[in-house]
Amino acid sequence: MINTIFIAGMIIFALASIYFFIAKKNSGINTAFLVSFVTLASYVLMWEGTYVAQSRAGEPIYWTRWLFYALSCSLLMLEIAKVKGITSKEKVAELIFLNVLVMLAGYLAAITFGVVKWAFFTLSAIAYLIQIAALLRIKEARSNWINAFIYFGWSVFPIVFFLAPTGLEIFGAAIAMGLYLLLDIYTKIVFNLRLKD
């Protein structure tokens, strides 16, 4: 089941990479393509299956995901900052640095246990809230729809992390991987299709 999800992820993000590469709109960074391309690489490595930890309940924890997110979501953050009209290079650099902290702390929460896991989960959540608060504070008509993506897309990731084998183990790795795939499609493909309009 988990392998089927990874294969689906590979096919979907390979097709998305090809589409966004061809459909490139302007002379800036082709973030849509690069984000899909990095996500494709991430699914290949998870499918390979070597770089996996084990939860207390014996479920696989695919910790490499969070390192790839440090790359791909930093690009998304750059794109979101642009749509939001953030022109201060310092502000954009801070948002990207915070995003790297969110993902590195998430990675550390995924590979540790007990109180340390929850300490890193808390640090990751704090960095995320600071980042998101800075983004949502910006009132910019053209970017209102982005807030919906952040609320219903980005913010569901830590909830899945919290309930999955990386956290309370309410559900197993298969459900977690399925939910992450849906979230990846929503925040990395649907988002970029919407952005092109």
Calpha distance 12→132 (Å, rounded): 28
Quick one: tokens of 55? Answer: 């939860």
User: Which CB sits closer to its own copies, 5 or 179?
Assistant: 5
Q: Count other Cβ atoms within 10 Å, centred on residue 34.
A: 18
For residue 72, the Cα-to-chain-centroid distance in whole angstroms is 7
Compute the least distance from the CB of residue 144 to its own copies, in Å: 23
Residues 6+ apart with CB under 8 A from 176: 160, 163, 164, 165, 166
Q: How far is the CB of 28 from its own copies (least distance, A)?
A: 5
Q: 95 or 179: whose CB is closer to its own copies?
A: 95
CB of 99 to its own copies, least distance (A): 12
CA distance 183 to 152: 9
Q: How far is the CB of 165 from its own copies (least distance, A)?
A: 18
Joined tokens for residue 67: 């390192």
The values of phi and psi at residue 53, to 5°, are: -100, 180
Nearer to its own copies, 97 or 171 (CB): 97
Return the number of the residue (77 or 179) whose C-beta is nearest its own copies: 77
Report, in Å, the least distance between residue 48 CB and its own copies: 4
Q: Which residues bind its own copies (CB under 8 A)?
A: 21, 27-30, 34, 37-38, 40-41, 44-45, 47-48, 50, 71, 75, 88, 90-91, 93-94, 97-98, 100-101, 104-105, 108, 112, 116, 119-120, 123, 126-127, 130
User: What span, in angstroms and rounded, lies between the C-alpha atoms of 23 and 197?
Assistant: 12
The residue written with tokens 């550390």 in the block is 108
Please identify, using beta-carbon distances, which residue of 89 and 142 lies nearer to its own copies.
89
